[in-house]
């Protein structure tokens, strides 16, 4: 279809919750293709509809590496139904060009969604894999949550954002994540 403009941090619609998709119509299949085209053009791992200005509960992911064939995954109306553990990982986002920072994520997730044909599926991603982190990252976009809201160090994050000429962290948006904190503490105590 088409490569779309990716909205940058600071655009209001990145903070708005997205609407459920009631039917996988031609409009939705075109949106999916636009997301894939844009994600591949930007060398991304994932892209959510709000990032191209469409506040609908749709995202795409492809975690294949350079020497593997493309393996796109489509998630429509996703819901994370199980999550456990915790990891601290470096993350970036196409809406934050060149800005990377450490964030807290669940180590394991199970998600239920519809594919591009409207069929429901469940997939599980474990061990802090790229897929596990990408599912959480893209799913957050559908709720107006950004990766910086999970940052490990707010002041370090502000410094990184400033270097890339992006607005600072919004302190009231920082997430309190006791489940991840507890999992990280337990891991530390067991190491």
Cβ partners under 8 Å of residue 191, min gap 6 = none
180's tokens:
């991840």
> Which residue from 63, 2, 88 is spatially nearest to 38, judged by alpha carbons?
2
CB 24 within 8 A of CB 76: yes
> Which residue from 144, 76, 82 is spatially nearest to 107, judged by alpha carbons?
82
In angstroms, rounded to a whole number, what is the distance separating the alpha carbons of residues 96 and 137? 13
Active-site hit among 20, 90, 98, 138 = 138
Clarify whether 98 is annotated catalytic: no
List active site positions.
138
């Amino acid at each position: 279809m088409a490569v779309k403009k990716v909205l940058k941090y600071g655009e209001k619609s990145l903070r708005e919750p997205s609407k459920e998709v009631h039917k996988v119509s031609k409009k939705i299949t075109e949106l999916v293709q636009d997301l894939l085209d844009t994600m591949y053009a930007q060398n991304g791992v994932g892209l959510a509809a709000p990032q191209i200005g469409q506040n609908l509960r749709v995202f795409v992911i492809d975690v294949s590496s350079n020497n593997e064939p493309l393996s796109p995954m489509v998630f429509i109306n996703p819901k994370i139904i199980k999550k456990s553990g915790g990891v601290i990982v470096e993350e970036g986002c196409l809406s934050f060009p060149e800005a990377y920072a450490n964030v807290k994520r669940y180590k394991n997730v199970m998600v239920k969604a519809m594919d591009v044909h409207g069929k429901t599926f469940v997939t599980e991603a474990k061990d802090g894999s790229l897929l596990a982190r990408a599912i959480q990252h893209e799913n957050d976009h559908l709720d107006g949550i950004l990766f910086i809201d999970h940052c490990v160090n707010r002041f370090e994050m502000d410094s990184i954002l400033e270097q890339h000429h992006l607005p600072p962290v919004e302190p009231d948006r920082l997430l309190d994540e006791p489940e991840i904190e507890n999992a990280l503490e337990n891991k530390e105590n067991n190491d």
